[in-house]
Structure 1
Amino acid sequence: MSTIQFIPEGLAAVANGRDTLTTNEAAPMINREPETMYKWSSCGNGPIRPVRINGRLAWRVIDLARLLSGESAA
């Protein structure tokens, strides 16, 4: 598995140094609706999986970058 070396500029700007984004921040970065990402989380069938932080969904910036680059996030 290759290691991603590049976080796209727009994604990096939104992340602003954070490791995770909220669903509402992450969805537009990958051209999806937040509802789609909630379905990925609840059904476990999406290309990336969220983590839970204090009971809330969070999406790893590195997973979003891999998805944008066409790599498998798993």
Structure 2
Amino acid sequence: MQTAALQQFPPLESVSRPTVDTAAAAYYLNRRPQTLRTWACLENGPLRPVRINGRLAWKVSDLMRVLGVA
């Protein structure tokens, strides 16, 4: 299993997909993936994920909104 420190993520502004996985979202938000999973489970975080085939996916537009990126 790769950790986020070993993975290379493109700048958020250049992501062309509508959603990213939990590892990428955690990288962009500077949080641990487990923190985002907790937000999803308890529904108490600044973002709400969508489920795609039972997996969490985080909207790029929501990430940009939370980070204040235009």
Structure 1: any 5+ residue segments left out of the alignment? Answer: 1-8
Is 2:15 aligned against 1:11?
no
Structure 1 counterpart of 2:6: none
Question: Share of identical aligned residues, percent?
Answer: 50
Show the counterpart of 1:5.
Answer: none
* Structure 2 gaps, min length 5: 1-9
Compute the RMSD of aligned alpha carbons. 1.6
Q: TM-score, normalised by structure 1?
A: 0.75
Output aligned runs, 1:26-45, within 5 Å.
26-45=25-44
How many residues matched?
60
- Cα distance per residue 1:4-55 (max 9 Å; x no partner): xxxxx81133x3x100000011101011100000000000000010000011
> Runs of 4+ in structure 1 displaced over 4 angstroms?
none
Whole-angstrom distance in 1 between the partners of 2:51 and 2:40: 10
Confirm or deny that 1:59 pairs with 2:62: no
